[in-house]
A and B are shown apart, each in its own frame.
Chain A
Amino acid sequence: MTPFSLAGPAFRPVAISFVPELGSADERVWGTLERAIDSALGARRSALGEQVRTFIKVIDLLARLRFGRGVHRLEPGQVGRLMGALERAPFRLIRRGVWGLRTLVLMGYYTQPEVVASLGYRADRAGWEARR
Chain B
Amino acid sequence: MTAHRFDVVIVGSGAGGGTVAARLGELASQGRSVLVLERGPRFHDADFTGQELDMAGQLYADGGGFLTADGTMTLAFARGYGGSTIVYTGTSLVAPERVIREWNVPGLGPAEVAERSARYIGENSVHLLPDDLINENNRLFVEGAAKAGLHAEQFPLNLKGCRGSSLCNLGCPNAAKQGTNRVQLPAAERAGVTVVTRAEVIRLGERRLTVRVGARPPGGKGAESEWAPGNYEIEAGMVVLAAGAMGTPALLLGSGLTGLPARVGHGFTAHPALILVGEHTQPVVNDVGHPKSFFIDRAEADGFVLETCMYFPFVTAKNMTGFGAEHGAMLRAFSRLQMILVLACDHATADNRVTIDREGQPIVHYRFTDRVVESLARATRMAATIFFGAGALRVHAPLANPPFIERANAGMVDRLIGPEHFLPGVTSVSSAHLMGGAGMGSAAANSVTDSWGRVHGRPWLRVADASLFPDSVEINPYLTIMALADRVADGILSDLATGGSA
By a beta-carbon cutoff of 8 Å, the part of chain A in contact with chain B is: 17-21, 36, 39-40, 43-44, 80, 83-84, 87-88, 92, 95-96, 98-100, 102-103, 106-107, 110-111, 113, 115-116, 118-131
Contact = CB atoms under 8 A, between A and B. Distances in A.
Interface stretch (B272-280, B321-329, B373-381, B482-490): B321-329
Contacts of B318: 103, 106-107
Interface of B: 48, 50-53, 57, 62-63, 65, 70-72, 133, 162-167, 173-174, 283, 285, 287-289, 312-314, 316-318, 322-325, 328, 331-332, 334-335, 423-426, 428
Contacts, number: 122
Contacts of A17: 323-324
Given A36-B53, A92-B425, A119-B335, A111 B62 contact: no
Q: Could you tell me the dominant secondary structure of chain B's interface residues?
A: loop
Contact of A127 (B72, B174, B425, B428): B174
A39 B316 CA distance: 21
A86 to B, nearest CB: 10
Contacts of A113: 51
B426 A95 contact: yes
Given A106-B318, A116-B313, A19 B165 contact: no
A128 B334 contact: no
A119 B63 contact: no
B72 A96 contact: yes
Contacts of A80: 324
Q: Could you tell me the dominant secondary structure of chain A's interface residues?
A: helix
B332 A88 contact: no
Contact of A102 (B165, B174, B323): B323
A18 B57 contact: no
A103 B323 CA distance: 10
Contact of B426 (A87, A106, A123): A87
A115 B316 CA distance: 14
A130 B314 contact: no
B313 A115 contact: yes
B164 A43 contact: no
A115 B322 CA distance: 19
Nearest to A21: B328
Nearest to B357: A45
Nearest to B286: A121
List 9 A-B pairs, minimum CB-CB distance, nearest first: A120-B335, A95-B425, A127-B164, A127-B163, A111-B53, A125-B173, A119-B334, A18-B323, A110-B314
Given A83-B323, A102-B323, A44 B62 contact: yes
Contacts of A98: 425
Nearest to A22: B328
Contacts of B424: 92, 95
Given A99-B425, A131-B288, 13 more contacts: A18-B323, A20-B325, A80-B324, A99-B428, A102-B323, A106-B314, A110-B316, A111-B52, A125-B174, A126-B163, A126-B165, A128-B164, A131-B285
A19 B289 contact: no
A99 to B, nearest CB: 6
Given A17-B323, A102-B323, A106-B317, A130 B287 contact: no
A93 B342 CA distance: 26
